[in-house]
């Protein structure tokens, strides 16, 4: 109780003093006190309004996408939409399974390539690099994050795909492997920088203890540092996944955009984002097709919201020093 | 204090005088005023922008905002009342493959757009017939050797459903026959620019594109033994072309009518329109 009492009484006396000084000396119509309280109140209202505005935007987007998307089920059964592989809107067939599967397959493939790579880069950055190289490399990674995705997509189309064609001898090169490589390059800096930060945050005493027990550097990194930085790495991975799932421009240029199941690495296919951007400009308003694309957007939105929730949960935990 | 006030007043007056002076002197040229919103086909956008610039010089009180988001958005925006003119690569007042007609809209021809079937420069085929094109784009012919080329898989590059180029190519070059929708050597691209890149960089690829986009790094094939040239379009031997249309809700009035008249005028058709490599509508019989 006393813990709480002391600060309150202190605050009370301070505010009464403030009140006296406010009432003194006012040459205008409104006293200094009422002016200040007016400013304070206005500022508070502006702040609250801004916060409410942001929340309203989120909920109205969710509402609009969901409401339009749900109209799909007036003409298409839930089972068909989620499980059918026939996406032929011209013939009223709206099976989105190909795209949902494609999105997950692409994301998993991307993660399978990018996570090991980025963790190794992060270990190199945080544990092995001399200081001067660290200060040079970190900004390089930060700059990579800022490159617009359309640039990656364009380079994928003009450099990566011809290269894949000559290396593997396939006819086209478009497909989830090309998309996964482009996405890997895109999410690599994000994942490795955050992993790097979380490895640096592991207290030095952990390493000292490990070395004192006679562990080698490799053992220390693998058995002590990485497990201690686990939640940070998870956080990085999920952030990278959210980035990869939502990426559109780079993917649409290298994936081939054909509604068929991605059962091979080199087979033109389509994912949720690329299909939406390919078709949304050309569909008639008020058609089932339009609603189905909204529903696909809504699914994407829900997936990324779920990921953000998971990120928050992971952030809440984490290693304490 | 007072002098400053006077000075400010004088400056404001001068500014107003200058502003009104220019407006009234320019306004003398034309009494037309209003606002025209144009949306739709990206193929027609360069033409629309050029026409808008010239039209605004003649009629300074008319404000024109033009944008492009794809052919089908043109007539749709007109129907919704968002746009006064919807630019589209086909006659949207009639049914075309995949799209129902827009009832009550009026179509105005503004230009002739030729299209070409194009192949990667490495492909040894220089001419195809309609039935060969139908076979290739429906997925029945899958190897170049079946149409007189070397033994290699045909890579079909298609525009996405809803593209005006696709509608025209399907109607004119494939005689309305359907495209394939899937296959391991089949892909779709989003725009004419993507089509150009895909054809240029993919060996054994075939696609189609506006004739003006054809570059030296690809090959435009003869269709039924007729080369895709402007002259052949005008003399009627090359059939793969379409009109570009402006759609309006009803018969246009006021500024909108004046603008469409301007685009259809001989001066614009044989001047700027030709410079942008479209073919004047008057050239066709």
Dump pLDDT digits (tens) for B36-68: 999 988 888 889 999 999 999 999 989 999 988
* Token pair in block for residue B58: 């003649």
* Token pair in block for residue B193: 């620019």
Which residues, at least 6 apart from B108, have a Cβ–Cβ distance to it below 8 Å?
B245, B246, B247, B248, B252, B260, B264
Higher pLDDT, B161 or A44: A44
Residue of B nearest to A277 (CA): B190
Contact between chains at B182 and A174 (C-beta distance less than 8 A): no
pLDDT tier for residue A43 given thresholds of 50, 70 and 90: very high
Alpha-carbon distances, residue A119 vs A111, A114, A226, B115 (angstroms): 11, 8, 9, 51
> Residue A98: its pLDDT value, please?
92
Domain ranges in chain B? 2-112+244-283, 114-234
Contact between chains at A171 and B204 (C-beta distance less than 8 A): yes
Residue A76 pLDDT > 50: yes
CA distance A242 to chain B (A): 24
Q: Other CB atoms closer than 10 Å to residue B47's CB: what's the count?
A: 23
Tens of pLDDT along A198-251?
999 999 999 999 999 999 999 999 999 999 998 899 999 999 999 999 999 999
Q: Any chain A CB within 8 A of the CB of B181?
A: yes
Task: Give percent of chain B with pLDDT exceeding 90.
Answer: 46
Q: Any chain B CB within 8 A of the CB of A159?
A: no
> Residue A28: its pLDDT value, please?
65
pLDDT tier for residue B99 given thresholds of 50, 70 and 90: confident
Closest partner residue to B197 among A158, A174, A268, by Cβ? A158
3-state secondary structure of B14: helix
Residue B191 pLDDT > 90: no
Q: How many CA atoms lie within 13 A of B163 on its CB side?
A: 22
> Residue A308: its pLDDT value, please?
86
Architecture (CATH level 2) of domain B2-112+244-283: 3-Layer(aba) Sandwich (3.40)
Strands (E), B148-240: 155-159, 186-189, 205-210, 218-220, 222-223
Fold classification of B114-234 is: D-Maltodextrin-Binding Protein; domain 2 (3.40.190)
Asked whether the beta carbons of B158 and A268 are under 8 A apart, the reply is: no
> Residue A224: its pLDDT value, please?
93
Q: At CA B196, angle to CA B192 and CA B202, rounded to 5?
A: 135
Query: What is the distance between the alpha carbons of residues B234 and B215, in angstroms, rounded to a whole number?
Result: 21
Alpha-carbon distances, residue A65 vs A134, A279, B41 (angstroms): 44, 16, 26
3-state secondary structure of B222: strand
> Residue B162: its pLDDT value, please?
78
Q: Residues 80 to 109 of A: which have CB under 8 A from any B CB?
A: 88-90
Residue A171 CA, chain-centre distance (Å), reads 34
The percent helix, strand, coil of chain B (3-state, each to 5) is 40, 25, 40
Residue A5 pLDDT > 90: no
> Residue B10: its pLDDT value, please?
57
CA distance A172 to chain B (A): 7
Q: Any chain A CB within 8 A of the CB of B190?
A: yes
**3-state helix/strand/coil string of A64-97:** HHHHHHHHHHHCCCHHHHHHCCCEEHHHCEECCH
Residue of A nearest to B153 (CA): A171
Residue B106 pLDDT > 70: yes
Asked whether the beta carbons of B38 and B87 are under 8 A apart, the reply is: yes
Query: What is the distance between the alpha carbons of residues B137 and B171, in angstroms, rounded to a whole number?
Result: 13
Contacts of B155 in chain A (CB under 8 A): 171-172
Task: Give the mean pLDDT of A122-144.
Answer: 89
H or E stretch covering B116: strand B106-120
Query: What is the distance between the alpha carbons of residues A224 and A213, in angstroms, rounded to a whole number?
Result: 12
Strand partners, B223: B128, B226
Judge if B2-112+244-283 and B114-234 fold alike in CATH terms.
yes
Which residues, at least 6 apart from B205, have a Cβ–Cβ distance to it below 8 Å?
B119, B120, B123, B155, B156, B157, B198, B199
Contacts of A258 in chain B (CB under 8 A): 181-183, 186-188
Tens of pLDDT along A279-311?
887 787 788 899 999 999 999 999 989 988 888
> Residue B182: its pLDDT value, please?
83
Tens of pLDDT along B209-237?
988 888 899 999 999 999 999 899 999 89
> Residue B25: its pLDDT value, please?
43
- Mean of all residue pLDDT scores within chain B: 86
Residue A20 pLDDT > 90: no
Residues belonging to chain A: 321
**Measuring CA to CA, which residue among B186, B129, B50, B70 is closest to residue A269?**
B186
Q: Any chain B CB within 8 A of the CB of A171?
A: yes
Contact between chains at B185 and A283 (C-beta distance less than 8 A): no
Q: At CA B105, angle to CA B99 and CA B108, rounded to 5?
A: 95
Show the DSSP H helices in B95-214 as ranges: 130-138, 164-172, 192-201
**3-state helix/strand/coil string of B32-80:** CCEEEEEEECCCCHHHHHHHHHHHHHHCCCEEEEECCCCCCHHHHHHHH
Contacts of A161 in chain B (CB under 8 A): 201
**Angle separating helix axes A97-123 and A288-316, nearest 10 degrees:** 30
Query: What is the distance between the alpha carbons of residues B127 and A120, in angstroms, rounded to a whole number?
Result: 54
Contact between chains at A258 and B182 (C-beta distance less than 8 A): yes
> Residue B16: its pLDDT value, please?
52
Query: What is the distance between the alpha carbons of residues A314 and A24, in angstroms, rounded to a whole number?
Result: 53
Contact between chains at B184 and A279 (C-beta distance less than 8 A): no
């Amino acid at each position: 109780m006393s813990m709480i009492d002391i600060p309150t009484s202190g605050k009370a006396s301070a505010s009464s003093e403030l009140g006296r000084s406010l009432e003194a000396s006012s040459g205008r119509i409104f006293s200094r006190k009422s002016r200040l309280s007016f400013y304070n109140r206005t500022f508070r209202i502006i702040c609250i309004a801004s916060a409410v505005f942001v929340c309203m935007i989120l909920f109205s987007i969710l509402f609009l996408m969901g409401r339009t998307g749900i109209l799909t089920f007036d003409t298409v059964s839930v089972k068909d939409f989620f499980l059918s592989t026939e996406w032929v809107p011209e013939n009223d067939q709206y099976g989105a399974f190909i795209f949902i599967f494609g999105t997950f397959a692409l994301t998993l493939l991307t993660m399978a390539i990018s996570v090991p790579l980025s963790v190794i880069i992060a270990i190199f950055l945080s544990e092995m690099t001399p200081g001067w190289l660290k200060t040079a490399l970190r900004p390089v990674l930060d700059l990579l994050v800022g490159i617009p995705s359309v640039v990656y997509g364009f380079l994928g189309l003009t450099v990566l795909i011809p290269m894949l064609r000559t290396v593997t001898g396939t006819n086209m090169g478009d497909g989830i492997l090309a998309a996964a490589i482009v996405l890997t390059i895109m999410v690599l800096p994000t994942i490795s920088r955050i992993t790097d930060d979380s490895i640096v945050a592991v207290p030095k005493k952990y390493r000292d203890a490990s070395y004192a027990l006679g562990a080698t550097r490799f053992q220390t990194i693998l058995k002590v540092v990485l497990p201690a930085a686990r939640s940070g790495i998870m956080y990085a991975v999920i952030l990278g996944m959210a980035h990869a799932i939502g990426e559109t421009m780079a993917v649409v240029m290298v994936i081939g955009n054909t509604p068929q199941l991605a059962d091979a690495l080199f087979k033109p296919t389509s994912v949720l984002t690329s299909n939406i951007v390919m078709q949304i400009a050309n569909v008639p308003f008020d058609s089932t097709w339009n609603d189905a694309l909204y529903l696909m957007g809504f699914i994407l939105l829900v997936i990324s919201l779920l990921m953000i929730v998971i990120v928050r949960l992971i952030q809440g935990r984490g290693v304490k020093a | 204090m007072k002098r400053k006030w006077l000075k400010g007043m004088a400056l404001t007056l001068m500014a107003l005088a200058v502003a009104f002076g220019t407006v009234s002197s320019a306004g003398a040229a034309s009494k037309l005023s209003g606002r025209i919103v144009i949306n739709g086909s990206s193929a027609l956008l360069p033409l629309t922008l050029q026409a808008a610039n010239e039209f605004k010089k003649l009629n300074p009180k008319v404000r024109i905002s033009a944008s492009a988001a794809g052919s089908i958005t043109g007539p749709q925006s007109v129907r919704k009342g968002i746009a006064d003119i919807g630019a589209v690569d086909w006659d949207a007042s009639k049914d075309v493959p995949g799209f129902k007609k827009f009832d009550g809209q009026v179509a105005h021809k503004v230009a002739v757009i030729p299209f070409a079937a194009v192949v990667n420069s490495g492909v040894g085929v220089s001419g195809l017939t309609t039935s060969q094109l139908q076979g290739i784009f429906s997925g029945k012919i899958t190897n170049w050797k079946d149409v007189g080329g070397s033994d290699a898989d045909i890579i079909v590059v298609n525009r996405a459903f809803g593209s005006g180029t696709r509608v025209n190519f399907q109607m004119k070059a494939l005689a309305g026959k359907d495209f394939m929708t899937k296959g391991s050597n089949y892909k779709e691209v989003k725009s004419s620019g993507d089509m150009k890149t895909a054809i240029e960089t993919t060996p054994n690829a075939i696609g189609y594109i506006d004739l003006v986009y054809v570059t030296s790094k690809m090959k435009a094939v003869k269709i039924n033994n007729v080369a895709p040239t402007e002259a052949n379009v005008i003399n009627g031997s090359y059939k793969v072309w379409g009109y570009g249309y402006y759609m309006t809700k009803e018969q246009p009035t006021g500024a909108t009518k004046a603008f469409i008249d301007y685009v259809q005028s001989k001066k614009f058709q044989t001047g700027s329109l030709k410079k942008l490599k479209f073919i004047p509508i008057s050239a066709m019989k």
